[in-house]
């Protein structure tokens, strides 16, 4: 596994953890609108491409 692959996996893990936190906040009645950190357009190349490749291999529609 190369460094770019590790960075992509770390980014995916971070997003999933944040989504879980947002879900917990939603349950408490706290709602966040348009969290920018989930926007894949904020990822720079080549990390963006690698994230899409990993998600595609795992069956996600990207």
Of 5 and 31, the structure prediction assigns the larger pLDDT to: 5
Q: Provide the pLDDT for residue 34.
A: 61
Q: Provide the pLDDT for residue 42.
A: 67
Q: Provide the pLDDT for residue 1.
A: 84
Whether residue 37 is predicted with pLDDT greater than 80 in this model: the reply is no
Helix (H, G, I), strand (E, B) or coil at 29: coil
pLDDT digits (tens, 9 = 90+) for 39-57: 656 678 898 899 899 999 9
pLDDT > 70: percent of the chain: 82
- The answer to whether 4 touches 46, Cβ cutoff 8 Å, is yes
């Amino acid at each position: 596994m190369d460094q770019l692959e590790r960075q992509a996996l770390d980014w995916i893990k971070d997003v999933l953890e944040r989504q879980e936190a947002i879900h917990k906040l939603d349950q408490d009645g706290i709602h966040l609108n348009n969290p920018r950190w989930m926007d894949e357009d904020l990822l720079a190349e080549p990390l963006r491409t690698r994230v899409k490749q990993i998600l595609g291999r795992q069956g996600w529609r990207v």
